[in-house]
Structure 1
Amino acid sequence: MRRLGLLLCLLTAFLTVGCTAPYRAEKFDLTVGGPVEVDVDCFRGDVIVKADPRLNEAFVRIVRTGEHGYDRLEEARASLDDINTSVELVPGTYGQRLQVRTGTTNAEPAFQRTDIYITLPLIEGMRIRTDDGNIGVVRGAGAMDLETSNGNVAVKTSVPIREPVTIINNGGGIEYITRSESTGKFDARVVHGTIMHHVIRGDLHVHAGTDETSFQATLNDGENPVILRTVDGDIRIKIVAEPETVYNSLLY
């Protein structure tokens, strides 16, 4: 029995460790001053961006992963060298722009991914492009241009949004949670999904043509477009006094 127990323990360890997808993490620390634009092109993977005003630096963590399967672990591990990454600060519209790029030269990019985690003191505008991954934004500010596929998009910010917002998804949900002082001219549409809106505070005028798959409305007489689109997913819009106290069902 003791021998059988030992064999079971070894088998469990093999299944737990031996079948884990090979990965490699790298971290970048950057000195920033003032609000920073975020500009990300990720060939495949999650992109999570958070602002923390207690910080005085920006931190970027990129995790390369090979997902070739348990019978191709060596190929997956070797393929990590084919992934290229770059992180740099360049001049932006309002000051510094944090520019993150990932790509691959591998013949099977569908078996690879780069998950990107960004934390910085203040955000002023962002553009994010990825595939097969989630996009998460916490305490974002300024204009937003976000696009992904086969993942969820969640924006939760206590900073009032008064700039243009575009969120495009294909194969996942969208959750947009912002303060009641925000403004916007909403144009939200879904295919194979539903739209739900929950406004606790703020002056919202819902326009003709709004139904379960289309939401046309103006928040606080805003002129800034808020365009939300997804296929095979739902859209949830929440306008509240304290967004950071609201549970985000998609990512957090």
Structure 2
Amino acid sequence: MSKVDVTSFKPPKSIVIVDVPPMRYVANIGVILPVLQGFHYSPKADPFFVPELHVNAKGDYITQGFNSGLVVASSSPAQGGVPLGAGIAGGMIVGGILQASADDTQQKSRQFDATVRQRLPKLDMGAEFVAALKQGLEAKGVAVSVTRDAAAEAPRLRWARYNKDLMPVPADDLDRYPAVDADVLMQISPIAYYMAPGPLNAYRRNTTVCVALFNGRTKAFLGMQTFSFSGFNPGLAYNRYESLLEDLDNAAPGLRDSLLALVPKVVDVATGRAVD
């Protein structure tokens, strides 16, 4: 896994944060592992961000098609997941019943994002994460600004790319985005969702943030590192999708809280402090 070498740059006095589009609220059956190298800033992560984004003249988000047929990170092998019946002898009736039940629940969960937004319209975990990150950096004496020039698209590495080994290297084309007048340009790819590894497992929070740092003036790639939330709250573990919905007033903010718990690590690495 790649890490930021904090000895390769001086602690910045100024940082520009690249804003992200609204994050999608996801409840998934099947193993999806955003912590793996090459997941963030790639098409694999796109289902965790709201599709069909538009930004109006005022810079406000206008979202359409929350449920426009997007297949949220599936448990099928084609989507990079683990088959729901894995470990159960092929052809067994029990396996078929579990698969059918899981498929039905997975269909219902496509409405999870719309349900959260309808019930908790003021909750915006991505915006709250960026605001907390800005506040945390400013508390360290860093001048911070936020650019929304890529707010209408899922996060992609700006001045870097993945090589064949899925390691980040400098991009071939550096001209798509101009340099910024700041010591560091910071990209973030936050993902927070509920995952049940299989149909017999509970939904639990799975939260990661991948940070990519660049020299804002020269566009030099400084490094990238992924941080994972490791806290466990038994009150936010749900054996049934229906239970997750019934406790949505706590469950959805719980995703936001797991993201905010990673802010100190992101602040530390961005300001030149090594973090494991």
**TM interval, short-chain normalised:** under 0.3
Tell me which protein shows more strand as a share of its residues. 1
The two structures have a TM-score, normalised by structure 2, of: 0.21
Tell me which protein shows more helix as a share of its residues. 2
More contact order relative to length (CA 8 Å, sep ≥ 6): 2
Larger Rg: 1
